[in-house]
Amino acid sequence: MDATTVALCQLNVNDGYPSTTFGLEGTLYGSNGTDQTLDLIDPCTCEVTTIGPTNFGSIPGITANGVEAETLFGLSVSADILLTLSTVNGAGTEIGPLGVDFHYSGTSWSADIQGLYAINDLTDSLYTLDLFTGEATEIATIDTQFDSVGIDWHIATHELYACTNFGGGSRLYSIDVDDGTSTLIGNLPHNCNNLAAPWTPVACVDDVPFP
């Protein structure tokens, strides 16, 4: 594995998406930070369909929900709370406070722990998030510094991956969830504040012609 990138399509919008995620069924969702909505994104054509407003502003951390159908988890850093987001109308519902000040951040569902991982750039630490109270528990200090945060647990490798642009230039890492050790995979050609891997086969993603 390396950090080679291939463009799938070009988004025909100027909106910012601080977070995207694949639902467990393979649908790609985007947290639209400009319009403050949850959007549906076709990963093969980049066609965007607005689902609805989150009612919690910009949500920089969204991820699959392995507990409740037709919802995603979302992490609001402006309010420092964990949410669920409806994939039917986009509306957010507060679960509870994180109990920690999060700045740039991301979160990811992990089937291995049946729960959520999150990274906070203020502490350069890895957390788990309580699915029922929202409370963040630090489990490891990561041995590399973060500015922007992209994070995703991969179902095929059972590893946690993260990206950041701290110190200039973007890099992709694997993160040891037990002790926070980071392993550099490679440099990325663009700023990175988001990672998203599908849970089920997605033709245009699976068929990417990597060089």
Q: Could you read off the pLDDT of 17-53 as tens digits, one per residue?
A: 999 999 998 999 999 999 999 999 999 999 999 999 9
Asked whether residue 4 is domain-assigned, the answer is no
If one counts the domains in the chain, the total is: 1
Contacts of 134 (CB under 8 A, 6+ apart): 81, 82, 94, 95, 96, 97, 98, 99
Phi-psi region of 162 (alpha: psi -120 to 50; beta: other; left: phi over 0): beta
Asked whether residue 165 is domain-assigned, the answer is yes
β-strand pairing of 182-188 with 170-175: antiparallel
Asked whether residue 14 is domain-assigned, the answer is no
Domain residues for 110? Answer: 19-201
Q: Please tell me the pTM assigned to this model.
A: 0.93
Asked whether residue 130 is domain-assigned, the answer is yes
Asked whether residue 121 is domain-assigned, the answer is yes
Asked whether residue 181 is domain-assigned, the answer is yes
Asked whether residue 206 is domain-assigned, the answer is no
Phi-psi region of 93 (alpha: psi -120 to 50; beta: other; left: phi over 0): beta
DSSP characters for 131-184? TTT--EEEEEE-SS--SS-EEEEETTTTEEEEEE-TTSSEEEEEE-TTT--EEE
Query: What's the pLDDT score for residue 98?
Result: 98
What residues of the chain score a pLDDT lower than 70? none
Asked whether residue 25 is domain-assigned, the answer is yes
Query: What's the pLDDT score for residue 13?
Result: 79
Q: Which residue has the tokens 């910012």?
A: 16
Q: What is the CATH number of the domain that holds 178?
A: 2.130.10.10
Query: What's the pLDDT score for residue 184?
Result: 96
Query: What's the pLDDT score for residue 169?
Result: 86
